Amino acid sequence: MRLPPPLAPGACIGLAAPSGPVPGRELQEAVHYLEQRGYSTAVGAHALQRDAQFGYLAGTDHERAHDLQQLWLNPQVDALFCLRGGYGAMRLLPLLDVQAMQRVTKPFLGYSDITTLHLLLNGGGLATYYGPNAGGLQRLNAAASACLWGMLEQTMQGVLPAEPESMQTLQGGSTEGRLAGGCLCLLAHACGTPLQPNLDGCIVALEDVGEPLYRIDRFITQLLLSGVLQNAAGFVAGTVTRWENEEASPRPDNLLQLWLDRLGPLNKPILAGFPFGHEPDPLTIPLGRRAALNADARSLTLLPD
């Protein structure tokens, strides 16, 4: 797996909206934040567009694909940060020069719907950063911000700064492997497509937002029936933010029970409650990096490659 180089002072960061529409103020805040940190920015030409027919998309498929590919392939752009998630990245795949994109080595950041693009780039052998979209960088607390920039600027190693008491060991044990995963529903929807993930030997990180328990069950079951989880090395389960709002009579342990019910029979270490993804202050997970999971100690450690 190729590791992207650390960001150098003054680097140019591209900003694209491959999925949902971006409010103008959010873009302005992202540009201001990055420039205050010493970077220049290159904003996709259609970053503030909204598709006239489908308002949940940031411009047409061709506009979003153009911005994404133009910024990613531009040698003057040193990294690409996605502005927002939502929905729409899957629609771009037929319009992208996948082979050309997979040959590029630079930092790529985003989460949620951006899982699709992580799968595309990871499939070409590039490690990427599953972390906050650019529109929310200025709102991160100190720990989440230090984690993000420690990876982007220094290729951080060591234990990720998650509080052990905030997590739970669902199945004990320790293991090593490359980190993989992302947003659960996007991973499930990739099954049967050219982006179906190969998770053999990987520590699989899973999270989502706003889904009732039966849908979480269905997504995991689809991954199981597709055969992509059986040979994983272990699992890091985040949360499914606001799942309780989708249930008539939620109990605090319902989600934990579901993780254990679906993943427990695989007899792999399972650590639940890791703070990444759709969290107010998510830690960044470098997909493709080697890591050690110790479910008993409730720790995830980045290893040298």
Separation between Cα atoms, residue 66 and residue 46, nearest integer Å? 9
Nearest to 209 by CA among 40, 94, 85, 78: 85
Residues 120-144 as b or e (16 or more Cβ within 10 Å = b): bbbebebbbbbbbbbbbbbebeeeb
Q: Is 247 a catalytic residue?
A: no
Measure the CA angle with vertex 216, ends 58 and 299; round to 5°.
95
94: its two tokens: 């037929």
Separation between Cα atoms, residue 119 and residue 194, nearest integer Å? 10
Q: Is 112 a catalytic residue?
A: yes
Within 10 angstroms of residue 242's Cβ, the number of other Cβ atoms is: 12
Give 242-246 contacts, CB < 8 A, sequence gap 24+.
242/209, 242/210, 243/210, 243/211, 243/212, 243/213, 243/216, 245/210, 246/210, 246/211, 246/212, 246/213
Question: Considering 46, 66, 118, 278, which one is annotated as catalytic?
Answer: 278
Separation between Cα atoms, residue 93 and residue 116, nearest integer Å? 9
* Beta-strand pair 40-43/12-16: parallel
Where would I find the H helices in 6-141? 24-36, 61-73, 98-102, 115-123
Question: Considering 46, 112, 118, 211, which one is annotated as catalytic?
Answer: 112
The phi and psi torsions of 168 (rounded to 5 degrees) equal: -135, 140
DSSP, collapsed to helix, strand or coil, labels residue 58 as coil
Question: Considering 26, 63, 207, 211, which one is annotated as catalytic?
Answer: 207
Separation between Cα atoms, residue 242 and residue 84, nearest integer Å? 19
Q: Which helix (H) or strand (E) holds 81?
A: strand 79-82
Q: Is 189 a catalytic residue?
A: no
| Residues designated as active site | 112, 207, 278
